[in-house]
């Protein structure tokens, strides 16, 4: 399987309750430049990134579905990720873009960019 295929499969497994393939895909020294719940950006280590996913235990429903990928000639994987969250009557259903650098089949560097409604949702829930 390609790096993009492995990314799609790992996100799909995590959505079904098996986070092991996604955790395994991340190199131990990986960093992720991603959004905080407040809408700012932060550089996360692997452990910090995985801890940040703990907020999903506080929502009623969630999904992270990779709906499309593209791989650059240099091997960078760009993914469109449908991000769904529901807490009570508050719903977030947006697409964010992620980029991933793979080395020997492991993600070493990643980024994500979310629309402004991402931070607005978390503020409205009171979880930010």
Task: Please give the pLDDT value at position 5.
Answer: 98
- Tell me the pLDDT tens digit for each residue of 41-89: 999 999 999 898 889 999 999 999 999 999 999 999 999 999 999 999 9
Domain range list for the chain:
3-125
Give the list of residues 6+ apart from residue 13 with CB closer than 8 angstroms, or none. Answer: 19, 20, 21, 22
Q: CATH fold of 3-125, please?
A: Nuclear Transport Factor 2; Chain: A, (3.10.450)
pTM, 2 dp: 0.91
Read off the tokens for 72.
Answer: 């650059």
Residue 113 has pLDDT above 90, yes or no: yes
Spatial strand order in the sheet of 106-113: 41-45, 26-35, 106-113, 90-103, 77-87, 61-71
Task: Please give the pLDDT value at position 42.
Answer: 96
pLDDT > 70 fraction of the chain, expressed in percent and rounded: 100
- Tell me the pLDDT tens digit for each residue of 79-100: 999 999 999 999 999 999 999 9
Task: Please give the pLDDT value at position 107.
Answer: 98
Q: Is 78 strand, coil or helix?
A: strand
Task: Please give the pLDDT value at position 27.
Answer: 98
Task: Please give the pLDDT value at position 53.
Answer: 83
Task: Please give the pLDDT value at position 87.
Answer: 98
């Amino acid at each position: 399987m390609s790096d993009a295929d492995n990314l799609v499969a790992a996100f799909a497994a995590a959505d079904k309750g098996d986070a092991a393939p996604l955790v395994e895909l991340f190199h131990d020294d990986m960093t992720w430049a991603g959004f905080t719940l407040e809408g700012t950006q932060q550089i996360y280590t692997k452990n910090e990134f995985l801890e940040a996913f703990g907020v999903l235990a506080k929502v009623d429903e969630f999904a992270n579905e990779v709906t499309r990928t593209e791989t650059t000639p240099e091997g960078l994987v760009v993914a469109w990720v449908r991000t769904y969250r529901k807490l009570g009557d508050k719903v977030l259903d947006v697409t964010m873009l992620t980029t991933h650098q793979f080395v020997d089949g492991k993600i070493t560097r990643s980024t994500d960019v979310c629309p402004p409604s991402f931070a607005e949702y978390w503020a409205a829930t009171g979880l930010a």
